[in-house]
Amino acid sequence: MENNNENPIVEEAVYEAPVFETPVVEEPVAEPIVEAPVVEEAPQVDAIEAPAYQAPEEVQALGSVEEGVIGATTAPKAPERKKKEKAAEVKETVALFSTKNATWSEVGKVAEKWLTRSHIRIATPEEVAKEFGK
């Protein structure tokens, strides 16, 4: 028989009804009690100490080598700079409450001048705590 693409071969499909099994209920089985394993401590071993490293007194730097030529040379190590401790500035913090957004470029952060405005007053501690979620 000749296979012709215009007349495709059709096979009949046979469908079977699905089979449902009833679930099997098993009674719970008591699990055996397992004791925690005993951990033995490893014997202590003395640590090996590394030799102390001394920084060189001279470090590599750029400088005059021969006949005015600039090249790699050594220079004495610069002394460590000591940081000055900054004096702790005590700033008095004042919280202000305003019923609207306001800017005053000439005044800036001076609270006394801001308090002359009718819509600004000193905020209560409860208002400050509420604003910052405390």
Q: What is the pLDDT of residues 29-43, one digit of tens each?
A: 667 777 777 777 777
Distance separating alpha carbons of residues 23 and 45, to the nearest angstrom: 60
* Percentage of the chain exceeding pLDDT 70: 83
Rounded to an integer, the average pLDDT of 9-23 is 72
Q: What is the pLDDT of residues 48-75, one digit of tens each?
A: 888 877 777 888 888 888 888 889 888 8
Average pLDDT for the chain: 76
Q: For the full predicted model, state whether its pTM sits above 0.75.
A: no
The more confidently predicted of residues 116 and 9 is: 116
DSSP notation for 12-43: PP---PPP-PPPPPPPP-PPPP-PPPPPPPPP
Distance separating alpha carbons of residues 57 and 47, to the nearest angstrom: 30
How many angstroms from the chain centroid is the CA of residue 55? 35
Distance separating alpha carbons of residues 102 and 115, to the nearest angstrom: 12
Distance separating alpha carbons of residues 117 and 99, to the nearest angstrom: 11
Q: What is the pLDDT of residues 72-91, one digit of tens each?
A: 888 888 888 888 777 777 67
CA distances from 120 to 25, 73, 100, 112 (A): 75, 67, 9, 11
Give the pLDDT band of residue 8 (cuts 50, 70, 90).
low
Q: What is the pLDDT of residues 95-128, one digit of tens each?
A: 777 777 777 777 765 567 778 888 888 888 888 8
Distance separating alpha carbons of residues 111 and 92, to the nearest angstrom: 11
